[in-house]
Structure 1
């Protein structure tokens, strides 16, 4: 009986095994069949040296795909393998043309590809041809990054199709970048997302991607646009480069609606959050590119300083910035203040890039322009022109260049929160970048803007107004470009003897007279103090105590895509001095306040002599932040003197009295140097401030400068003396743990 039962069990087990085998075979066959049906079908990956069977017209795509070398040259990202189709050429004018694929049968729901380039479908893009007829066309999201993109083609299944890649524009931005075209049943790329979020803290924080293409994001509260900005968001945790923020402090307790484009199956809904403070992945002082005793914004790109004004006991610095990116774009106005030009407090951004033309002013945030917020100036409403002053306080005014409207006013009673002056938006002034000053002798406002037209070319229109509302053009001052500065200064410290300085963005300027209507320069040629190419778009604080002229410019150095990019010069005191021949020259020197950042002196040497026997002299340096002072004196007829710090070297020619290509005169056979060495920059103040030049400091892999080297080209009894050589290590203005 036991044997029979055992046999029965064996037979049953055998039968069950046979059934399982059959089931496994059936399931595997079905899975294999399903996989075969869903597998992507490659149309093109552009890995060959030519376009093979593709039909080519014109010369936009050259003779074959672009390659790795091409990618490194133009920083193109996001393609696969070694090659991709590209019509990009680094020229203002270029060839046009197209690529047409061989015919293929539509067998999947989507055609997926990697796509970058122009956002204008009439200029460049990708077309789908079905049975020889165009059925749709798409353009890229603007940029040099190739993004995953899906074209829905389900309704064309079973029909013959072709892909047409085209570039119709000879201009710089008519370009297309394409790679890895496949048929697929899987949707990829981006799709619209509407995300409601309750505002519980003053900031919304956003994950910024390591690289990619910026896409539009709008934030509304009660149907009013609060922020309208372009940003490349990280869609998963591992893609986060840093966390950016936007201010929502006046919206706490309300519900915001965020409209953006999200990657298919992304996690972005959970990554955007409210926060009381910015989220930092590392503290500021750990960033090897972060200036240590110059001001730098916490996050994002900066360029021109704007709206600089002394108000309520503090210096207020504004600047153009990109809050959610480390490249140029969006153009908000950042804001920081300081009681002493050394210690800075960064505030919420003062002005916001706009929601576009056609959107009524009352449908956008009070601090929002129509377009990008370009350069401008700041001042105090001295004579209550707008009627906003109170018994306790005058109104702070910002004159902003709204690039979709014109020059406009934003006002503040607390120095932090700004509102558009809506009675007249814009003001009606032509041009942009207006520097607005109050002219006491004539009791009127002066506005100097910049304009480029056929009649006058690049020039500065000069306007006057009694009330900041009605403006009259008084003069077109020719051959000037961008970001004017216009200020009056005493000559040789004599307040009874003054001249006006009219400066353009590159630092070149005229000294002359101004009668309240017209500026008359003393010379026909522009003068130079701030050496062109070293910094840009500087301006001075308005309304300063005792009429002090404090100047800050944009220091354009690349921080290699860290959490911030670019910076500013050290604040400088400007003054006018008479030089040989009676000419009046502008001098620039670091503000005296920075001396309080000096630590105990590291090197103090009265004289170092360079002669035919000792032509090179080097000294070791212990740190990397310095204020260095010295004087160079010639004895006899030495030919030249050179100074080298890290990777930067400057040479002074004694005969021509030039530092490199720049005239720097000696006085009594001597020329002074003051050198400020911060982490990303080295600044030179030459001949007591007669000339200034900024160098970008590279090779920051180490924390020390290692040494400073002097050398001279001398012979015979000639000598070069380095006198009063003093080296002060500098304190950082950044706060560390526990400070």
Structure 2
């Protein structure tokens, strides 16, 4: 049964007390049962207010067959007047004995019992919701039946409400003179019911430590513990039913990981966390107390969250003995649960995780020296790039807590460069709003509204179930774009809300004249148009692509419209015409930008010279080295007369050249390999011009072993360019100019990254590799005939200046 929309405030009716959409049948707060009919001797003339049982009733009284003076010895029934079933769901609270058909609540339609529920045989009331979809419009009656004597031979019920909301509500309102603690959960049952689990972090029921277990400080025999018994590092949440806060303090025991929000107990009200505490950093549980007096009378819920993925020293959470109380258990002079403090801590946790793996990442001999990468952890999609005030700004998905693995706890990193070669890493720009239920900030891109103000369209990925992804907007607070603030609300009309089957993401805004549009990933690639100047209201206009893909880009280049998509395979392009009035795209050509998946997640922008700059991520690096992912070599992109892309590296790379090498005497190669004496290395730029003869293939072998048994080919072969390897389903076709018969390769070696392009811009391929460190030779070759090396120029490449200090030395308390 879904309970989250109720406590997260994502539906119009967030509580189950009678409201505009609810039909209250009876709450039993009167002096008698009114029009209800009593038969037998089990029921008193009116509702009761027992002092020992069912203290979690919804008000002061309830319907109950157990008489204070006679116990469970009498039998009888209590039957409601007729009513019309005018809502889908019937909610109520039930207590009494677990004796089906003997101590039960029955729904009667046309003289027949069509629904029945027995009590739970415990001292608290349990919420029940009946789905009456097939009975709507019918006349019905309710009957409370007590046909049992002896132990638990009674029935109790309260708060019958017809509703169109299927959410349960657990109430803890007690009589005003009752001061006892209200136990919300002690986790002594065999399962977590009525709490519900999402994700895979929690087993089916509470954890019972063995005698040899290091866990201490819990009460009873068991407790709530994340991380399943198999030790797998999974994320997930354990969620309580909603309840009403009826005491000024909430006491609980907590241990395990001390990661703010990510190994924590959190209190949710109206879709936001209002109190949160993490563990102790060890297996010892300690008492903590939240002052919740400001929330008394409000509907709330608790979440036990484990959002860690394995690299933290203690990556699970332990919780026990949660209760509402009039007395704090922990030292009230040191109040806990501050959301503001948790926000500061999670920022510091992120920075500490980056620092933790920095040395390991730097020690990797395959880590590039002139391709940008953050100091450590996983870099993924580049996002929202732009030119502003003398800088190229790069934002990117940064999995700050892990060096590899799935995209979770994604922040947006930020770096800037004046030349696309040397970079400054800035403080993390956009963080997940954990306090609003956001686990990750997935990809998006930047627009400028009609006031000239930048806005990053980000993807909100939730960590609670039954909540859809959303597009949120982040805006800078300063001219340098250092600090960004996200508004946790979706632009109006941008995507249909509440549809959990639509994993939307990757918004890409663009302009056509003075009109603002946007594409994003959905079941298709839809296009929306902004209907106001602030970009907060949008209208759906149609589809750019009937197929779905990641990271859709739509951009005007040289008078043509370029559509790029990353469909879990090589990045593909279509070039054609866009009509803003009909919001329709007519492709004229199509193909692939890169014929391998090592270049992925494209995005693009204009620089101050009007050039189109194309960015992507290189991916596929080995794990357990403190980092994965780097910015692919930026590409200057244009459209040729043949309506195909032309790509070249930025000219600023030439400033890294040193120790030049030249070979300008033509060398004819007849089915042979020639090692270039005096040229070796793993950070080298090579420009080699060939004239084709009758060879089947010709080109270069880089990162070649001394004996020639290992190498990476960059070559022309049978009408195709092959770099490192060829994916059969994605051939890189290249027709040699019949007049010149020439091909010029330009190759960049940067430790474990290889970029290769042709000087005419028709081919630009990026790869990663793990050639043995000792393989440094470079050779030219022709096979199956002859080809001529006309010239070869090469340079050793100095490391780029990549300064991470503005991130690593940043103050996360601000």
**TM-score scaled by length of structure 2:** 0.53
In structure 2, the residue matched to 1:633 is 691
Q: For 1:353, what is the secondary structure of its paired residue?
A: coil
| Residue equivalent to 1:708 | 778
Q: CA deviation at 1:399?
A: 0.6
Q: 1:136 to 1:280 in 2, by over 3 A?
A: closer
- Residues 1:664 and 2:696 are matched in the alignment: no
| Counterpart mapping for 1:460-499 below 5 A | 460-467=526-533, 468-477=535-544, 478-490=546-558, 498-499=559-560
Does 1:556 pair with 2:615?
no
Residue 676 of structure 1 and its aligned partner are, at CA, apart by 1.0
What SS class does the counterpart of residue 689 from structure 2 fall into? strand
- Picking from 285, 302, 306, the partner of 2:379 is 302
Change (3 A) 1:274 1:403: closer
Q: Deviations over 1:676-699 (max 9, x none)?
A: 111121111135221222221203
CA distance in 1, matches of 2:422, 2:457: 25
Q: CA deviation at 1:421?
A: 3.5
Q: Counterpart in 2 of 1:315?
A: 392
Structure 1 distance, partners of 2:763, 2:311, is 43
- Map of 1:519-668 to 2, 5 A cutoff? 519-523=584-588, 526-542=590-606, 544-578=607-641, 583-612=642-671, 614-619=672-677, 621-635=679-693, 637-646=694-703, 649-650=712-713, 652=715, 655-659=718-722, 660=726, 661-667=731-737, 668=740
1:166 matched to which residue of 2? Answer: none
Q: What's 1:682 paired with? A: 754
1:456-484 deviations in Å (ceiling 9; x for gaps): xx434343434212212222122341111
Question: Aligned in 2, Cα 1:288/1:450: closer, same or farther, shift over 3 Å?
Answer: same
Distance 1:225 1:318, change over 3 A: farther
- Bigger fraction of residues in helix: 1
Contact 1:285 1:736 in 2 (8 A): no
Question: d(CA) in 1 for partners of 2:228 and 2:637?
Answer: 46
Q: Note the alpha carbon deviations across 1:376-425, whole angstroms, 9 max, x for none.
A: 001333x21xxxxxxxxx53211101124411211014201111236x53
Which of 288, 296, 299 is residue 365 of structure 2 equivalent to? 288
| 8 Å contact kept, 1:507–1:537 | yes
Q: Which digits, 9 at most, give the CA deviation of each residue in 1:599-618, with x for residues without a partner?
A: 12134444232015x45445
The answer as to whether partners of 2:354 and 2:376 remain within 8 angstroms in 1 is no
The alpha carbon displacement at 1:314 in A equals 1.1
> For the aligned residues, what is the CA RMSD?
4.3
C-alpha separation between the residues in 1 aligned to 2:230 and 2:615? 40
Alignment partners' CA distance in 2, 1:706 and 1:438? 47
Check conservation: 1:597, 1:730, Cα contact below 8 A.
yes
Which aligned pairs between 1:83-102 and structure 2 lie closer than 5 A?
none
Query: What secondary structure, in the 3-state scheme, does the structure 2 residue paired with 1:350 have?
Result: strand
Contact residue 379 and residue 396 of structure 1 kept, 8 A: yes
- Structure 1 SS opposite 2:787: strand
Deviation at 1:643, TM superposition (A): 2.7
Q: Aligned residues, how many?
A: 483
By how many angstroms is 1:446 displaced? 1.0
Would the aligned equivalents of 2:574 and 2:587 in 1 still touch at CA under 8 Å? Answer: yes
For 1:722, the equivalent position in structure 2 comes to 789
Query: For 2:776 and 2:351, how far apart are their aligned partners in 1?
Result: 45
Pair 1:627–1:354, CA change in 2 (3 A): same
CA distance in 1, matches of 2:265, 2:715: 54
CA contact (8 A) 2:422 2:802 kept: no
1:564-588 Cα distance to aligned partner (Å, 9 max, x none)? 222120111001112xxxx211111
Aligned-partner SS, 1:594: helix
TM-score (normalizing by structure 1): 0.58
1:433 aligns with 2:506: yes
Change (3 A) 1:380 1:568: same
- SS of residue matched to 1:291: coil
Which SS does the other structure have where 1:325 is aligned?
coil
Q: Does structure 1 residue 503 correspond to structure 2 residue 564?
A: yes
Alignment partner of 1:689: what SS?
A: coil
Task: Find the residue that maps to 1:602 and give its secondary structure.
Answer: strand
The 3-state SS of whatever aligns with 1:521 is: strand
Q: Distance in 1 between matches of 2:506 and 2:395?
A: 13
Cα distance in 2 for residues equivalent to 1:140 and 1:664:
54
Distance 1:274 1:504 in 2: 32
In structure 2, distance between residues paired with 1:397 and 1:192: 40
Residues 132-189 of structure 1, C-alpha deviations (whole Å, 9 max, x = no match): xx9458999978999xx962479xxxxxxxxxxxxxxxxxxx998489xxxxxxxxxx
Alignment gaps of 5+ in structure 2? 1-188, 212-226, 233-252, 279-304, 315-333, 340-344, 463-468, 496-503, 704-709, 806-814
For 1:712 and 1:439, locate their aligned partners in 2 and report how far apart those are by CA, in whole Å.
49
2:595 is paired with a residue whose SS is: coil
Distance, in Å, in 1 between the alignment partners of 2:201 and 2:430 is: 28
